Amino acid sequence: DGGITQSPKYLFRKEGQNVTLSCEQNLNHDAMYWYRQDPGQGLRLIYYSQIVNDFQKGDIAEGYSVSREKKESFPLTVTSAQKNPTAFYLCASSIDFGQGGQPQHFGDGTRLSIL
């Protein structure tokens, strides 16, 4: 079945540590996205990628980094510079970017907590 796989489901970060969240899709989608969800707030865009080897900052990119070396993979690294990383992280993809009419499909999320 085609879809988006996020791993791990739960992740714990120690003080000063960088952690990487995995996102893999087999939908052959060009565009991929990372969102952060906090209680009582809507999803906020961290980074997005329109195509392989390209990515752009979203609304809350500080303290995060990404790479897009392969079409199917878009890992997110939460760096030690992100002082409030505890949240639910969601990865999404869409067929392409810039058309305004393509739905985004989401993975099941990774919950990150501070130790």
Partner 1 sequence: KQEVTQIPAALSVPEGENLVLNCSFTDSAIYNLQWFRQDPGKGLTSLLLIQSSQREQTSGRLNASLDKSSGRSTLYIAASQPGDSATYLCAVIYNTDKLIFGTGTRLQVFP
Q: Which residues bind partner 1 (CB under 8 A)?
A: 4, 6, 33, 40-45, 48, 58, 88, 90, 92, 97-101, 103-109, 111
Q: How far is the CB of 106 from partner 1 (least distance, A)?
A: 4
DSSP secondary structure string for all residues of 16-70: T--EEEEEEE-S--SEEEEEEE-TTS--EEEEEESSTT--EE-TT-TTEEE--SB
Task: Report, in Å, the least distance between residue 7 CB and partner 1.
Answer: 13
Cβ proximity to partner 1: between 50 and 80 the closer is 50
Contact 4, 93 (CB under 8 A): yes
CB nearer partner 1, residue 77 or residue 104 = 104
